[in-house]
Structure 1
Amino acid sequence: MDVEASETADFLASVHPYDSLLPDELTRVAAAFRQVECEAGSNIYALGQRLEGLYIIAEGRVDVRDRNGAVVSILGPRNSFGERGLLRDGAAATTAVAQSATRLLLLPAEEFRRLIAARPAFARFFDRSRPTENRAPDLATTRIADLMTPGPVTCPPSATVAEVARTMRDRQVSCLLVMQETQLTGIVTNRDLVKRALAEGLSTDAPVTGVMTADPITLAPDALGSDVLHAMLERRIGHLPVVDGERVIGVVTQTDLTRHQAISSAHLVREIADAEDSQALALVVGRIPDLLAQLVGAGNPHWVVTRLITDIADAATRRLLRLAEERLGPPPVPYLWLACGSQGRQEQTGVSDQDNCLFLSENAIPEHDSYFEALARFVSDGLDACGYYYCPGEMMATTARWRQPVQVWRNYFSGWIRKPDPMAQMLASVMFDLRPIGGEVSLFRDVMSETLALAATNSIFVAHMVANALNHAPPLGLLRGFATIRSGEHKDTLDLKLNGVVPVVDLGRIYAIQGRLQAANTRTRLEVAQQSGIVSPSGGRDLIAAYDLIAETRLRHQVARVRTGEKPDNFMSPAALSDFERSHLRDAFVVVKTMQSAIAHGRAAVL
């Protein structure tokens, strides 16, 4: 294999679904690709043009545009495009333009169609057909051959702990198979290195046989995803070798299962992209509770689940924007639709309202507002029909105040920071979570960095933000109990949103302001705040662990309701938890309360 084909094979091994190919087939497929270099601004193909094959981005960015020239997708490395036209009549269904200098890999059309016909994983990944029934993604019935990572990394029994650790680091894997020639004798994971070597003070020169799991359980490639889940849960393991006869052909890990969930959510995104109206969108989005139950049931961490759920809301919003433009005609000036709140932070669960706004070009004039009011109404009505109910505070682009030229938005932000009254604090809290969803992204360029710089240097504003954040207190009662809701429909329950995750969200936002952190996602804010010294290593670790427990308890509660045929909500009775779970949840709330106290006294960095 020549150098170029070898580099292509290495690259494809990290791209789904090529990572499902066995090593020999991956080598053959890699040799079929050819490289294409594109200059910034050049067309890769135009609408209606005959497609040469499937494109994968190796380096650079690509805009995919519809027939009206509107950008429908901005793609980066490892994204593929062109499959829609290839699976129809071979003609491009969109226009693809290199946004920057871009290097592409082109898989010829014949080879692409052969893989679709021969490999179920390819057919499933690229299939745009609509299912005949409404059912949840089928991890449990998926063959392990379509889930596993082929070509496992191995080491001999004579390898030392240090050699194993370096190999895992260099190859970026979480396990090694210990092989005596062609015979599988054991498996060693990153967890083994921590628990059996590091924690026990074992010499780094010790042989791997002293820390590995000998004669590990294996599964055949025709076993099902349910077999993987059962084995992992029963034995509390996260890695399973896959053996075909006596030949080791791969490893299936918890990461592989997570990737499968991402593909399942991507299937919903594909259906959304093809939806003809808001009613069709609502049918797709209506499957979110089932997807939520599957993602949580498969053991995915909360930040993976909420990211995938939010991706569906993003796709629905972009589709509604395109449908609005088809109805209303092209916009009179460029615009950008942004989400705030949980969608802006990529933290949506099974129940969410909508919080959004419009940034308009500086060339906008009052006469243009009727167009953007109609566009905002169409999109917000469509989102409401999909289950993203109207914001009770009307924090939506349908309100004239929240669809304005960029300079007006800059004035909003600077005014709120200069005069931080309670209303300004509330508005600023929402707007610091802004994230572009669809339209001209350049309209948002530098706005957030400028605003963060202005806010971070205004100690009075930061103090007001801290005081506002302390209004959301964890539900801690006396005598190691919980402070539950005292009356009304949700009497004797905990509000896991308002008193659970929101206090941590508020802390993350303050850290972002203090450190001028661009991230909108709460967990990312906490991680970066810890890394940059805004909070101490110990305080950061405790807060992240507390947030993880609270957020995952909230998701498990929502899934429990879904499984009993109820709508997901945020109100959980403490009686639903075991004594052990209640104790740990209360400890998590104590951590949050402690960090709130620290930031109130200006001590976040020293905890």
Structure 2
Amino acid sequence: MKPSNTIQERVHEFLRQYPPFNMIREEQLRKLASQVRVMYLEAEQVLFTQDDPAHAYFYVVRQGSVRLEQRTEEGGQRLVDVCDEGDLFGVRALIARKNYSSTATAAEESLVYAVPIALFEPILNESPEVALYFAAGFAAGAPVVRSSMADTNKARVGLGTSYTSHPVINHLEDVVKVGAGKGLVACTPDTSIRLAAQMMSDKDSSFMLVTDEQNWPLGITTDTDMRKRVVAGLVSINDPVEEIMSAPVITIAPDPPMADALIHMIRHKVKHLCMTEDGTAQSKAVGVLTEHDLLLAQGNNPAVLITEIRQTKDINSLPAIRDRAEELVLKYLEQEVSISFIANIITEINDAIIVRALQHAEQELGEPPLRYCWLSLGSEGREEQLLRTDQDNALLFEDQHAAGEKEAQAYFLKLADIVNEILISCGFEKCPADMMARNPKWCQPLHTWKQYFYHWIHEPTEESLLHASIFFDYRPVYGDFNLSRQLTSYIYEHISQEHIFLPYLAKHALQSPPPLSFFRNFIVERGGEHKDSFDIKLRAMTPLVDAARVLTLDNHITGENNTFKRFAKLAELEPKNALLYQEAAMAYEIMMRYRALNGLRNHTSGRYLNPNQLNKLERQALRNTFKPISDIQELLQVRFQLSYLG
């Protein structure tokens, strides 16, 4: 019997609220709604059973909830998912043409819409958006069609709602085009400064590239070099240009993505990049890319912020500059700029603030008594601190006799206190656990740091493993990086000696069980100020951070702290697990994006998500990121034989 117009209208109004029906043309949706069957299910009523032939319908929960369960080898039932209002299930008939892989049972009195496959199939075939919805595994019980986290991310971007109405303000994924020969003003190293200056003037160029007879880049000189060296009278205008050139030249491959070019300039503190045939200094120069080129291509250049930080004489101006950086993060997130690029940019900005604060402290206190190295820990150490969360840092200084070390520590504690206070003024709160350089425990000479790590590695107690999970992600930011390298060498030497450490660290990494089903077991806080919120850091991000750390140590990978870059490196070293590592990296990037957006929306650290603030697609995309967590943890179980560990 055909539904009445009133029922048809109710079906239509309901379906149009939820994906993928909200992607369907109006006339198609009305036609589909007219053929939908409305079904009432009593509590515990079975709609279909595992291995049953597929029905001619797939189903949408209108009211109530439906459990999906699979048989276990022991004969019991394993809960796969719980579908609530707006969820699709039973889609194997639509996609895979196979028998049902689970049993669907009403968890309570429920209303379910049965959508005829014959009518929906043409829509699926002609609509890329609808096809992408199913390919991303957003329908319950459809893992058979989910190919990868790439599908989830593509669907998240393509099908999700926009957070802004602003036009696109940057094109960071675009390449920067500089034609062969364009921007290439060059001379040999024996050319006189006078002639080089004349050539620059004739070409209206702010620089002169210095090349050898093969046209390989040797150095570069700029207007600034001319003013500082020649006009100041330090060098004669008749001397060869090699006397004032800067070397070596920072090179890059032709037509680089804007993001890569920008990161190169910021990281190397240069305003010119030499494009060569293969991207190295051992090939022919084909052009020069300038900061001005990037400024023209991109209206909001973070290099300007970093330059301001580095050059400011007023330390009190740093908080306002960091506020502008937060605005930049939001714009980048809104425009779907890659998380890798955003993380690189914000790391450079945060590092610039730390360096400027340390320089200011040195000016106040006088020259440091010993060589030292400032270490960033935690998310900043991993280059993942998109928002201003609490600060984690430490200070390492060179060994000296006891009296000298005590005197040096007194100086460095004062220095650290100044820096920690400046960071607090910039929005980086004090660490609740006092993991900060101004804490005497974390401001120590090299031999003491070695003792710390020796104890953590050779006596892996719960406290030791907790400290290891924090301090193994240290990253040198300022000072004598050789001190950091000595400590790293010592750590790997002792990890190789103590074979029990990594298994215990792996076991520690399994302490946070993954939220395998977003709706089945969405673990929220039961009390306190974050009641009914989901802790995305503890429940979802930390398991991947911990797994990446232990696997990196196991593979003796040094110099790489960033979680998704660690997974990328692991994918290179372990081809058989490459897909899993790639999935984990992408899942982590999606989580970082959600956490940052949540923080910016609510002016918080973003750690606690309110599920009610996420739309259906966002919840489903986040749920898909949980699968790589369980797969990675299973890999740890097997690799380190954790079932045999007491």
Determine if the TM-score, normalized by the shorter chain, exceeds 0.5: yes
Give the RMSD, CA atoms, in angstroms: 4.2
Taking the aligned partners of 2:598 and 2:211, their CA distance within structure 1 comes to: 41
CA contact (8 A) 2:436 2:442 kept: yes
Q: Which residue of 2 aligns with 1:413?
A: 453
Taking the aligned partners of 1:542 and 1:321, their CA distance within structure 2 comes to: 39
Deviations 1:177-212 (A, max 9, x none): xxxxxxxxxxxxxxxxxxxxxxxxxxxxxxxxxxxx
Taking the aligned partners of 1:22 and 1:517, their CA distance within structure 2 comes to: 36
Letter in 2 for 1:551: M
Letter in 1 for 2:596: L
SS of the equivalent of 2:625 reads: helix
Deviations 1:391-432 (A, max 9, x none): 111111101121111122122111210111111111111111
Confirm or deny that 1:589 pairs with 2:626: yes
CA contact (8 A) 2:399 2:447 kept: yes
Q: Which residue of 2 aligns with 1:298?
A: 335
Alpha-carbon shift at residue 497 of structure 1 (Å): 2.0
Q: 1:478 to 1:570 in 2, by over 3 A?
A: closer
Confirm or deny that 1:432 pairs with 2:472: yes
Alpha-carbon shift at residue 103 of structure 1 (Å): 3.5
Q: Which residue of 2 aligns with 1:474?
A: 514
Which stretch has the larger CA shift, 326-335 or 566-575? 566-575
2:579 pairs with 538, 555, 560, which one? 538
Letter in 1 for 2:485: R
SS of the equivalent of 1:103 reads: coil
Taking the aligned partners of 2:604 and 2:231, their CA distance within structure 1 comes to: 43
Deviations 1:483-532 (A, max 9, x none): 22222222222222222322111111011111111111111111111211
Taking the aligned partners of 2:447 and 2:396, their CA distance within structure 1 comes to: 9
SS of the equivalent of 1:530 reads: helix
SS of the equivalent of 2:500 reads: helix
Alpha-carbon shift at residue 310 of structure 1 (Å): 1.4
Alpha-carbon shift at residue 278 of structure 1 (Å): 3.4
Taking the aligned partners of 1:34 and 1:444, their CA distance within structure 2 comes to: 40
Deviations 1:150-200 (A, max 9, x none): x9xxxxxxxxxxxxxxxxxx989xxxxxxxxxxxxxxxxxxxxxxxxxxxx
Taking the aligned partners of 1:36 and 1:269, their CA distance within structure 2 comes to: 35
Q: Which residue of 1 aligns with 2:361?
A: 324
Q: Which residue of 2 aligns with 1:448?
A: 488
Q: Which residue of 1 aligns with 2:568?
A: 527
Q: Which residue of 2 aligns with 1:602?
A: 639
Q: 1:86 to 1:352 in 2, by over 3 A?
A: farther
Q: Which residue of 2 aligns with 1:31?
A: 185
CA contact (8 A) 2:295 2:301 kept: no
Letter in 2 for 1:507: A
Q: Which residue of 1 aligns with 2:69?
A: none
CA contact (8 A) 2:189 2:211 kept: no
Alpha-carbon shift at residue 277 of structure 1 (Å): 3.8
Alpha-carbon shift at residue 450 of structure 1 (Å): 3.1
How many residue pairs end up in the alignment?
405
Q: 1:388 to 1:54 in 2, by over 3 A?
A: farther
Confirm or deny that 1:423 pairs with 2:568: no
Deviations 1:8-57 (A, max 9, x none): xxxxxxxx9xx96864xx736423455589xxxxxxxxxxxxxx975889
Taking the aligned partners of 2:330 and 2:484, their CA distance within structure 1 comes to: 35
Letter in 2 for 1:473: P
Q: Which residue of 2 aligns with 1:103?
A: 248
SS of the equivalent of 1:348 reads: coil
Letter in 2 for 1:512: T
Confirm or deny that 1:396 pairs with 2:433: no
CA contact (8 A) 2:372 2:479 kept: yes
Taking the aligned partners of 1:265 and 1:539, their CA distance within structure 2 comes to: 34
Identity %: 28
Alpha-carbon shift at residue 91 of structure 1 (Å): 7.3
Taking the aligned partners of 1:588 and 1:306, their CA distance within structure 2 comes to: 20
Taking the aligned partners of 1:356 and 1:260, their CA distance within structure 2 comes to: 36
Letter in 2 for 1:414: Y
Alpha-carbon shift at residue 275 of structure 1 (Å): 2.2
Q: 1:385 to 1:538 in 2, by over 3 A?
A: same
Q: Which residue of 1 aligns with 2:409?
A: 369
Alpha-carbon shift at residue 316 of structure 1 (Å): 0.4
SS of the equivalent of 1:359 reads: strand
Q: 1:56 to 1:300 in 2, by over 3 A?
A: farther
Q: 1:407 to 1:486 in 2, by over 3 A?
A: same
Confirm or deny that 1:552 pairs with 2:589: no
Letter in 1 for 2:248: R
Where do 5+ consecutive residues of structure 2 fail to align?
Answer: 1-171, 192-204, 233-242, 252-260, 267-274, 280-292, 642-646
Q: 1:282 to 1:426 in 2, by over 3 A?
A: same
CA contact (8 A) 1:277 1:323 kept: no
Deviations 1:360-391 (A, max 9, x none): 11234212222111111111111111111111
CA contact (8 A) 2:580 2:631 kept: no
Q: 1:398 to 1:577 in 2, by over 3 A?
A: same
CA contact (8 A) 2:185 2:207 kept: no
SS of the equivalent of 1:445 reads: helix
Q: 1:171 to 1:459 in 2, by over 3 A?
A: closer
Q: 1:303 to 1:448 in 2, by over 3 A?
A: same
Q: So what's the TM-score if we normalise by structure 1?
A: 0.59
Q: 1:568 to 1:343 in 2, by over 3 A?
A: closer
Q: Which residue of 1 aligns with 2:302?
A: 265
CA contact (8 A) 2:587 2:628 kept: yes
Q: 1:407 to 1:381 in 2, by over 3 A?
A: same
Name the larger-Rg structure: 2
Taking the aligned partners of 1:422 and 1:345, their CA distance within structure 2 comes to: 22
Q: Which residue of 2 aligns with 1:315?
A: 352
Alpha-carbon shift at residue 476 of structure 1 (Å): 4.4
Q: So what's the TM-score if we normalise by structure 2?
A: 0.55
Taking the aligned partners of 2:218 and 2:393, their CA distance within structure 1 comes to: 30
Taking the aligned partners of 1:437 and 1:474, their CA distance within structure 2 comes to: 33
CA contact (8 A) 2:596 2:606 kept: no
Deviations 1:416-467 (A, max 9, x none): 1011111111111111111111111111224213313422553321122122
Letter in 2 for 1:31: V
Taking the aligned partners of 1:491 and 1:351, their CA distance within structure 2 comes to: 23
Alpha-carbon shift at residue 83 of structure 1 (Å): 7.2
Alpha-carbon shift at residue 603 of structure 1 (Å): 7.0
Q: 1:285 to 1:493 in 2, by over 3 A?
A: same
Q: Any residues of structure 2 matched to 1:242-257 within 5 Å, and which?
A: none
Confirm or deny that 1:356 pairs with 2:396: no
Taking the aligned partners of 1:476 and 1:104, their CA distance within structure 2 comes to: 50
Alpha-carbon shift at residue 257 of structure 1 (Å): 9.5
Q: Any residues of structure 2 matched to 1:106-145 within 5 Å, and which?
A: none
Taking the aligned partners of 1:53 and 1:478, their CA distance within structure 2 comes to: 57
Q: 1:349 to 1:89 in 2, by over 3 A?
A: same
Taking the aligned partners of 1:496 and 1:257, their CA distance within structure 2 comes to: 36
Q: Which residue of 1 aligns with 2:379?
A: 342
Taking the aligned partners of 1:105 and 1:512, their CA distance within structure 2 comes to: 29
1:571 pairs with 598, 604, 608, which one? 608
CA contact (8 A) 1:344 1:520 kept: yes
CA contact (8 A) 1:56 1:105 kept: no
CA contact (8 A) 1:484 1:492 kept: yes
Which stretch has the larger CA shift, 367-376 or 572-581? 572-581
2:549 pairs with 509, 523, 527, which one? 509
Letter in 2 for 1:324: A
Which stretch has the larger CA shift, 513-522 or 297-306? 297-306
SS of the equivalent of 1:287 reads: helix
Where do 5+ consecutive residues of structure 1 fail to align?
Answer: 1-15, 38-51, 60-76, 93-97, 107-120, 127-150, 152-169, 173-255
Taking the aligned partners of 1:599 and 1:259, their CA distance within structure 2 comes to: 48
CA contact (8 A) 1:35 1:104 kept: no
Which stretch has the larger CA shift, 286-295 or 466-475? 466-475
Taking the aligned partners of 2:210 and 2:499, their CA distance within structure 1 comes to: 45
Q: 1:260 to 1:324 in 2, by over 3 A?
A: farther
